[in-house]
């Protein structure tokens, strides 16, 4: 038996109380703890859960590995991350998703939950082995061709029908391919002035509108990845009012950054979907605050310098964000009545619920002791060069923030202590997650 007592933590930013951990689970109390931690002044949140992470392994270990991505997640306060399927080979079979889950257990810094591809090879031609991945040891419940849109409406309908049989969810990358051919940035005033091919908002909104109607018709679950426009917020709001089983996510960068930054031609700001206008940023902030947008997903997308540090039109799309997500969200939402309980809801409890992770998203006794302690009054500057991820393509470099991740506990193991990696969970030495 192992036990930890965390003293004087402000749970969800409220009253101070003690938190007891016994054998990897939250407990009512502990009399003689093996370790006592003074959390005076710190906020306790359930460990963060990311539904949208690119870990690159297998196939692109030069950009990221499951180990380095898991370490980055832990330093960002995440205890569970969902690995997107656009690896090499694509995670479209039971064998590949089981390999990803195994690599996560071997790393031992966060629970790595594989996302399966919707179509074979993400080619958009035929459904992948959805049932086999769901029945595998990885128990896949979320399927996405992220990076590619499931553009064929009949194929999307069939995917929604299939996952309904085991209460799965299709997470759509909403991007009409015909409307975005050659697109380099948001279509608008800035793209016109810079002479760069534009990426219209309607390319996202038209796919979301189609898919919520399909989800309503089929009665299945749809998740909208990285929503970025004001129109998309309104479509999701309308769909929810109709009772459609749709959830939506927004990224930290779409909550903070605008297409005005593209004037610098710095490829760190090149991302899919593109940075939008200030009006769009304001709309997605309001949508997150009022619950129209359910969660924050990082869309952590590391790239090598070879693929990112080049002229704008040749640079890869994507940004890293696991280690800066919580501080950036709290900064972006500071004027919207968005507190620590809201952060816990949108970055832990709700994503865990969407994915079906019963051991994450709660601080209640009896559940898995997945926990992050946060200093809410820090004076920090985001320094990507010091991050655990292999990716350095973080658009928030040099931004001052007032939130610092202090400690992260994964099933009771203190994997991060005072902001530094401490050591992996016992699963890395052949142990098991608490189930």
Residues in the annotated binding site for Zn(2+): 52, 54, 146, 173, 226, 299
**Cα 230 off chain centre by:** 21
Sheet harboring 142-143: ordered strands across? 142-143, 169-172, 221-224, 246-250, 295-296
Q: What residue has token string 């179509």?
A: 119
Q: Please give the distance of CA 112 from its chain centroid, rounded to a whole number.
A: 12
Binding residues for substrate, by number, are 54-56, 86, 272, 303
User: Binding site: what residues are annotated?
Assistant: 52, 54-56, 86, 146, 173, 226, 272, 299, 303
Which DSSP category does 166 fall into?
T
- Rounded to whole angstroms, what are the CA distances from 111 to 57, 61, 72, 262, 303? 15, 19, 12, 35, 22
Of 185, 193, 201, 198, residue with least CA distance to 270: 185
CB 191 within 8 A of CB 259: yes
Beta bridge partner(s), residue 401: 380
Active-site amino acid positions: 299
Backbone angles phi, psi at 116, to 5 degrees: -90, 150
**Tally of helices (H runs) and strands (E runs) in the chain:** 13, 21
DSSP character for 253?
A: H
What is residue 176's DSSP assignment? Answer: -
Rounded CA separation 84/90 (Å): 9
Which residue's entry shows tokens 């009896």?
A: 366
**Contacting residues for 311 by C-beta, under 8 A, at least 6 apart:** 265, 267
Closest CA to 105 of 143, 75, 69, 67: 67
């Amino acid at each position: 038996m192992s036990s930890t007592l965390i003293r004087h933590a402000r749970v969800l930013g409220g009253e101070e109380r003690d938190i007891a951990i016994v054998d990897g689970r939250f407990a009512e109390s502990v009399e003689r703890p093996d370790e006592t931690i003074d959390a005076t002044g710190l906020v306790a949140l359930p460990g963060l859960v990311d539904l949208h992470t690119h870990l690159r392994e297998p196939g692109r270990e030069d950009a990221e590995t499951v180990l380095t991505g898991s370490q980055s997640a832990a330093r960002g306060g995440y205890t569970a991350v969902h690995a997107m399927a656009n690896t090499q080979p694509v995670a479209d079979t039971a064998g590949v998703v089981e390999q990803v889950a195994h690599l996560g257990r071997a790393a031992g810094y966060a629970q790595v939950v594989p996302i399966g591809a919707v179509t074979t090879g993400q080619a958009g031609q035929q459904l992948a082995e959805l049932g086999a991945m769901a029945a595998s040891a990885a128990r896949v419940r979320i399927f996405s061709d992220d990076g590619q849109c499931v553009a064929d409406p009949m194929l999307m309908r069939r995917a929604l029908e299939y996952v309904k049989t085991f209460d799965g969810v299709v997470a759509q990358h909403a991007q009409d391919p015909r409307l975005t051919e050659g697109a380099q940035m948001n279509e608008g005033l800035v793209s016109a002035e810079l002479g760069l091919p534009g990426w219209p908002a309607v390319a996202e909104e038209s796919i979301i509108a189609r898919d919520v109607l399909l989800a309503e018709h089929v009665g299945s679950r749809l998740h909208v990845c990285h929503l970025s426009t004001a129109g998309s917020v309104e479509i999701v709001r309308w769909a929810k009012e109709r009772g459609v089983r749709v959830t939506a996510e927004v990224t930290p960068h779409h909550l903070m950054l605008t297409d005005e930054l593209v004037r610098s031609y710095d490829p760190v700001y090149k991302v899919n979907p593109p940075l939008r206008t200030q009006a769009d940023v304001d709309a997605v902030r309001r949508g997150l605050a009022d619950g129209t947008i359910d969660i924050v997903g990082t869309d952590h997308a590391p790239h090598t310098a070879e693929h990112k540090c080049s002229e704008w039109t040749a640079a890869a799309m994507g940004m890293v964000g696991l280690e800066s997500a919580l501080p950036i969200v709290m900064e972006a939402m500071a004027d919207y009545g968005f507190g620590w309980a809201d952060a816990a809801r949108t970055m832990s409890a709700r994503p865990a619920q969407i994915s079906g992770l019963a051991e994450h998203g709660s601080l209640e006794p009896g559940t898995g002791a997945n926990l992050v302690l946060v200093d809410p009054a820090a004076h920090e500057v985001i320094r990507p060069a010091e991050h655990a991820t292999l990716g350095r393509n973080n658009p928030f470099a040099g931004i001052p923030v007032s939130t610092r991740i202090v400690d992260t506990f994964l099933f009771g193991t203190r994997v991060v202590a005072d902001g530094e990696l401490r050591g992996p969970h016992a699963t890395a030495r052949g142990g098991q997650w608490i189930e």
